[in-house]
Chain A
Amino acid sequence: MLRHSKVKSYIILLLALLLVMAPVFSVNGAGGANVSKVQDNELVISTLNDTGSIDDIKVLSHMRVSGNGNVTIQDQSQYKLKSVRNLYGSEKITQKDGALGINFKLGSGEGHQDVYYLAALDKNEISRATMPVSIKVSYFLDGQQIKPSKLAGKSGHLKIVCEVENLTGSKKTLEFKNNKGEMVKSEAMVYTPYVVSLSGWEFDNKKFSAIQAPGVAEESPEGVIVDVQGKTSVSWSVPLVPPKYPAKQYVVLEADAKKIELPSYKIAVIPIVPTTSEIDSLGTVQESFGKLYDAFDKIQGGVGTPAQDATLLNGLNAVKNGLGQVSDGMGSLVEKLTAIRLGLSNPKFDVGTYNSATGTDAKGNTPAVREAITISKNALDEKITPALEGQKKVLTVMEATMGKPGGEVVQPSLSTSLYNDVSFMQGLVKGTPAEDVITKAMAPKIMAMGANLGVLRDGGNLVTAGGSMPFPASINAIAAGVEQISSGLGKANSGVGMIALGLGQIGADGKPVKVMMDGKPGSILYALAYLQESIDGKMVPGIDMLSEGTAKIGDGSSQAKEAITGGLEKMMAAPAIVSALKDNASQANSFLGKPEGAEGTVAYVFQTPEVNTAASAMNYGLGAIVLALIILFAIGRPKSPSQFTEVNKEM
């Protein structure tokens, strides 16, 4: 009875306690729960199979709920799940209508509770699952692609190539202020930024040597190789963050291997805008670009157009026009000088066959100045000078015929002088008036005539009735003058010849003959023609090329300005792009889904297949077990009673 009453007392006490605790339970119940924050962090673990495709996807989810009371959180799942397991706790997780229900007991005060669960995707959902980054791992042995399962235990030159590509690119319209301060819109491919970390890929030094992880600029980052305690660890960090880094990259590992065994390597993919410690020189670069733009603008302005005053192209055009005029002037000069040259000397003219009646040579060529001078000189030398000598001889004979006093008067004859004859007649008429006529008139006149004939020949004072007077026009004086003229004509001939030589020869085509002396034009006409040819053939084309080149500089400057403007716009757009990247990164916060209003993060891990000989070792191990059992069956069983008897007998 007493015992019965004790049980009754315990029941009453329990009921009383329940009544006391009832308000507390109601506060902690679902109705009174207060959830201040839900954080859902997901790690998506994908296992790659032998062909490189995803064989299995598991999501390790860490959910932290802050607040108080008891609450059931509905975690959304956009994929059908094969299984869900609470890893570290006993909280029940239920699946219903594509959502996971997780019970949290947060207690009465403000606190939090963590639940880690592992959800495995249904096999049929794997093909539907969208990964933000594609991972492709290829294995090569001695240059031949090989499946990882075939690698185990083999030796050779191993090459592992891991290709990664960010698949999240989509076009977005970015709005930002350009370098002129205007709001502009620009369409750009914006990705969700992901960094792929291939960290701690370990290679046993006993099996691998000459390990290399080379990089290629703008394609593939170089791996960091560390050799520690018998293992070589290789790590890569691959930022898939366009436009700064390519959306598609790859990493390469090469090594000489023997009896290959590889663990399952982890490839982590994290949505993040990587912050580095590099010095941000964007502002300086932007300012420099601005200056560069101004400089190109000035270059373009300086180059200008042919029609634009005070520009290079305008100046070059003027130079070209001026050179054209100079060339035309040269042409005229050459033409006129050619005419002068032909007037100075006609090389075709033959002086020997000159006909003064026709004024031409035997072939009808007319003489030029030089030939005319030659003809004139020849006339003086060959005709006038001998004629004058002849006149002088005549005058000498006439002077001797006249005679003069001093000689013995002889009987007149054909060879005696007139004076001798008059003197002889004077002797015959001596004492007669005739003697006076002879003495006073005839003899003096004959003497004066003889003297004047000498004066006519040699020059001197001419005797006249009125006295004597100087007579400059003697034959001797004329001969001397003719000789001077001839000499002068000779010099004129040489001078004209030199002028003609200086002007240069004219070819049959009427153009100056090419004469070069010491590498330079050897005549005026050729020099002028050479100059004109240089102007027309080199300087004008050169100016054209200069103009063309200058125009290209102008075009290039214009293009550079456009490029700089584009670059500046990109720079100005950089903050907008970074902002868009950060937005995308913050939005990449779930793979399966998350409770409404929850904050979340997501990271991905891809596991490569393990390459080892464990399967064969296990087979050998099983064989060893069977063998051991057979041995023990044979020798490890107790002997039968009969055998005992035999043993006892032996003993």
Chain B
Amino acid sequence: MKKAIGLGLLVAVFFAAFIMAKDFIAVSSFYMAAVAMAMFAVLGPFGDYFKTAISMLLGVVTGLAGILALVAAMPLPPDNLIYVALVSGLSLFVLVLLSTVGLRIDGMFLGWAAYFASVYGTYTTNAASLATGAIPAAVGVCVSLLVGLIMANLIIRIAMATNQ
């Protein structure tokens, strides 16, 4: 129990420190770390966290490409839902295709969704600002997701330790 409390405190401090440093490392959607943690705690002690990380990053990259395409080459909001649907559908189609080469579909979807959650509000209200803000947002989302993944790994280790 003592070990669990100690490791739990370690995770809590690590997460708090991550939030405190969010501006320093260009992270705005820090809460996505918790989503990633929740999603991938199920990977278990023998899960492939690294592959999941790569999948999440690819998902973010796909989301970034979709947003850039929407911003740069398609009509802007508000009357552009069809284009959003088109890009989103195409993105998910690409992700599904990528899953066939061994990447985790859940990781890619989470990466894509996290990025869209992070920038879609900006896209609808001030699309022009994404010209400079899209890539930093992608970096921030990636950091959040990877931190969540690391913490998921830690939590599994805590669970393992307490079960032993």
A625 and B143 contact, CB distance less than 8 A:
yes
C-alpha spacing A225/B37, complex, angstroms? 46
| Docked complex: A603-651 residues within 8 A CB-CB of B | 610, 614, 617-618, 620-625, 628-629, 631-633, 635-639, 644
Chain B positions within 8 Å of A87 at CB level: 75-76
User: Closest CB of chain A to B113's CB: distance in Å?
Assistant: 18
Chain B interface: which size bin?
20 to 34
| Docked complex: A74-108 residues within 8 A CB-CB of B | 85-90
User: Closest CB of chain B to A138's CB: distance in Å?
Assistant: 23
Given A621-B136, A622-B139, A628-B150, check contact A636 B50 (CB 8 Å): yes
A621 and B25 contact, CB distance less than 8 A:
yes
A638 and B46 contact, CB distance less than 8 A:
yes
Given A618-B135, A628-B149, A629-B146, check contact A636 B25 (CB 8 Å): no
Query: Which of B24, B26, B49, B52 has the largest number of chain A CB atoms within 10 A?
Result: B26
B153 and A621 contact, CB distance less than 8 A:
no
A617 and B24 contact, CB distance less than 8 A:
yes
A620 and B80 contact, CB distance less than 8 A:
no
Chain B positions within 8 Å of A620 at CB level: 24-26
C-alpha spacing A87/B80, complex, angstroms? 10
User: Closest CB of chain A to B102's CB: distance in Å?
Assistant: 13
Closest partner residue, chain A, to B48 (CB atom) = A638
Pick the residue among B25, B76, B140 that contacts A88 (CB under 8 A). B76
Query: Which of A89, A617, A629 has the largest number of chain B CB atoms within 10 A?
Result: A617
Pick the residue among A86, A610, A621, A629 that contacts B26 (CB under 8 A). A621
Is B27 close to A, CB under 8 A? yes
Given A87-B75, A631-B150, check contact A637 B49 (CB 8 Å): yes
Given A617-B136, A621-B140, check contact A632 B49 (CB 8 Å): yes
A635 and B153 contact, CB distance less than 8 A:
yes
Given A618-B26, A624-B25, A637-B48, check contact A632 B75 (CB 8 Å): no
User: Closest CB of chain A to B93's CB: distance in Å?
Assistant: 22
C-alpha spacing A90/B74, complex, angstroms? 8
B25 and A629 contact, CB distance less than 8 A:
no
C-alpha spacing A623/B49, complex, angstroms? 19
B150 and A617 contact, CB distance less than 8 A:
no
Is B147 close to A, CB under 8 A? yes
C-alpha spacing A617/B46, complex, angstroms? 34
User: Closest CB of chain B to A202's CB: distance in Å?
Assistant: 15
Is B6 close to A, CB under 8 A? no
| Docked complex: B106-164 residues within 8 A CB-CB of A | 132, 135-136, 139-140, 142-143, 146-147, 149-150, 153
C-alpha spacing A622/B50, complex, angstroms? 17
User: Closest CB of chain B to A206's CB: distance in Å?
Assistant: 12
Chain B positions within 8 Å of A618 at CB level: 26, 135-136, 139
User: Closest CB of chain B to A455's CB: distance in Å?
Assistant: 154
B49 and A624 contact, CB distance less than 8 A:
no
B142 and A625 contact, CB distance less than 8 A:
yes
A633 and B50 contact, CB distance less than 8 A:
yes
Is B89 close to A, CB under 8 A? no
B139 and A625 contact, CB distance less than 8 A:
yes
C-alpha spacing A625/B26, complex, angstroms? 11
B25 and A86 contact, CB distance less than 8 A:
no
Q: Is the interface of B mostly helix, strand, loop or mixed?
A: helix
A621 and B139 contact, CB distance less than 8 A:
yes
User: Closest CB of chain B to A435's CB: distance in Å?
Assistant: 182
C-alpha spacing A208/B23, complex, angstroms? 19
Is B105 close to A, CB under 8 A? no
User: Closest CB of chain A to B41's CB: distance in Å?
Assistant: 13
Given A621-B25, A624-B25, check contact A86 B75 (CB 8 Å): yes
B53 and A629 contact, CB distance less than 8 A:
yes
| Docked complex: B74-111 residues within 8 A CB-CB of A | 75-76, 79-80
| Docked complex: B44-77 residues within 8 A CB-CB of A | 46-54, 57, 72-73, 75-76
Chain A positions within 8 Å of B132 at CB level: 610
C-alpha spacing A614/B46, complex, angstroms? 37
Given A87-B75, A88-B75, A621-B136, check contact A614 B26 (CB 8 Å): yes
User: Closest CB of chain B to A526's CB: distance in Å?
Assistant: 99
Chain B positions within 8 Å of A632 at CB level: 49-50, 53, 146, 149-150, 153
C-alpha spacing A620/B142, complex, angstroms? 12
Closest partner residue, chain A, to B154 (CB atom) = A635
Pick the residue among A88, A614, A625, A636 that contacts B49 (CB under 8 A). A636
Chain A positions within 8 Å of B73 at CB level: 85
B75 and A90 contact, CB distance less than 8 A:
yes
C-alpha spacing A638/B46, complex, angstroms? 5
Closest partner residue, chain B, to A628 (CB atom) = B146
Query: Which of B23, B53, B57, B140 has the largest number of chain A CB atoms within 10 A?
Result: B53
Chain A positions within 8 Å of B135 at CB level: 618
A628 and B147 contact, CB distance less than 8 A:
yes
C-alpha spacing A646/B76, complex, angstroms? 58
B53 and A89 contact, CB distance less than 8 A:
no
Chain A positions within 8 Å of B146 at CB level: 624-625, 628-629, 632
Query: Which of B72, B80, B139, B149 has the largest number of chain A CB atoms within 10 A?
Result: B139
Chain A positions within 8 Å of B140 at CB level: 621
Chain A positions within 8 Å of B80 at CB level: 88
Chain B positions within 8 Å of A637 at CB level: 48-51
Pick the residue among B23, B53, B143 that contacts A624 (CB under 8 A). B143
Chain B positions within 8 Å of A621 at CB level: 25-27, 136, 139-140, 142-143
Chain A positions within 8 Å of B46 at CB level: 638-639, 644
C-alpha spacing A644/B72, complex, angstroms? 50
C-alpha spacing A629/B136, complex, angstroms? 18
C-alpha spacing A88/B79, complex, angstroms? 7
- Which 7 pairs across A and B sit closest by C-beta, in order of nearness? A636-B49, A628-B146, A617-B26, A621-B26, A621-B139, A621-B25, A632-B50
* 5 interchain pairs, CB-CB under 8 A: A89-B75, A621-B26, A637-B50, A638-B48, A639-B46
**13 more A-B residue pairs beyond the given contacts A625-B146, A638-B48, with a C-beta to C-beta distance below 8 A:** A86-B75, A617-B24, A618-B136, A621-B136, A625-B57, A625-B142, A628-B149, A631-B150, A635-B49, A636-B150, A637-B50, A637-B51, A638-B46
